[in-house]
Amino acid sequence: MSAIRRVLTAVLFVSVLTSCQEDGSNTTSESIFPDLLRAEREACERKGGRWGAAPNKASQVCYQTLPDANKSCKSETDCAGLCLARSRTCSPVEPFYGCHEVLSASGLQQTVCVD
């Protein structure tokens, strides 16, 4: 397992644990591992990513703008990310949270949910 994957796994684990607290404290993964998260944020930004809140608001994630963002597509093979069925364009960022109608590699419409 790569070092980045181990770090991301640790951050996710801490995020899950801190989101389960019932004592009313406002402990976040940022307050527990500030140096680790600062390093992750800096690595994200060096790669051209944008560091921001995940939809669950309990953790942070690196959003990467995709090279073919918003370009026309007919199937997922046309995109670095997802081929969005409604607009027939490539998804703008990764990860692309939520449930979306996308076009598969064969061009068939299907629903994909990213949590």
Residue 54 and residue 8 in one domain: yes
pTM for this entry: 0.65
Residue 47 and residue 10 in one domain: yes
Residue 73: its pLDDT value, please? 98
Residue 42: its pLDDT value, please? 95
Contact 29, 14 (CB under 8 A): yes
Domain boundary among 24, 43, 64: 64
Residue with the bigger pLDDT between 83 and 1: it is: 83
Residue 46 and residue 87 in one domain: no
Tell me how long the chain is. Answer: 115
Residue 55 and residue 86 in one domain: no
pLDDT tens-digit series, residues 85-115: 999 999 999 999 999 999 999 999 999 999 8
Residue 7 and residue 33 in one domain: yes
For the chain, count helices (H), then strands (E).
3, 7
Residue 53 and residue 9 in one domain: yes
Residue 56 and residue 20 in one domain: yes
Residue 33: its pLDDT value, please? 76
Q: How many domains does the chain have?
A: 2
Domain that holds residue 80: 76-114
Residue 95: its pLDDT value, please? 96
pLDDT tens-digit series, residues 44-85: 999 999 999 998 888 899 999 999 999 999 999 999 999 999
Place of tokens 């921001």: 52
Residue 55 and residue 97 in one domain: no
| Neighbour order of strands in the sheet with 60-65 | 50-53, 60-65, 93-94
Residue 81 and residue 106 in one domain: yes
pLDDT tens-digit series, residues 4-37: 445 444 444 445 444 444 444 455 555 667 888 8
Residue 12 and residue 52 in one domain: yes
Residue 22: its pLDDT value, please? 47
**Domain-embedded: residue 69:** no
